[in-house]
Structure 1
């Protein structure tokens, strides 16, 4: 900080103002009560988790499903022709409990069974913080299971290009 003084008459004024910058010292007999007051100050409540977008929540759920079904999933590039694609409708309550899972689209009953079983193994799902309206009890969204020929899957919310 650069300060220039134009006259010596300003020095007493600056000295007086500089003394205003710091609080007065606490007398010795009051120091112990100040320390006690600071020690028992209530800790603030933890902040609620940030609200998610639906796409961010779906990606979070997809990672959760893959973690719970690591032996039934695969990573890497998708095959050029997918032998099976299953779209499921997922309903989750405020606590992340699955309240409904239904196959919306599938041409392969075996792949449908794998998708439904994988969903059931995955519960409870992450909580949908910030996505439910105040009077809403659950949220419903879709996820697409992309299968290889061995009935292992990737989830569309996380899969790369085909």
Structure 2
């Protein structure tokens, strides 16, 4: 059986993809169940053409750098920043090398540099993941934001310095 290549997007996801903050606010203000609408998952092609499952409207806004829309989704819609396609959004941004998203999440107090962990058995934090992927600008940023240098992974006990 062949896997479907179709995208499944809600109206809120489409509006977030295109950066229409006022329309996002309007949709949220008329929604009888904001939490359900905000956390609704879809499937879409990323900018590089990969089909990504479990995408929310927040991920759509962040992926296209529509930061006012993303902030509205979090502030007004109470979007869950730990609800990423695979990992919490901070780690997803670290893995993709998106310092702009990392900065938005940390500087606005949406994510704690030392609390976010991967969803796998290793439980790596954002600093360890940024070192693993070689994103030196993100490593520097996280250290300046007081990332714990001695935090260890659950399985092998390595710190960011030992990666």
Which TM-score band (shorter chain)?
under 0.3
Bigger RCO (CA 8 Å, 6+ sep): 1
- Which structure shows the bigger proportion of residues in strand conformation? 1
- Which structure shows the bigger proportion of residues in helix conformation? 2
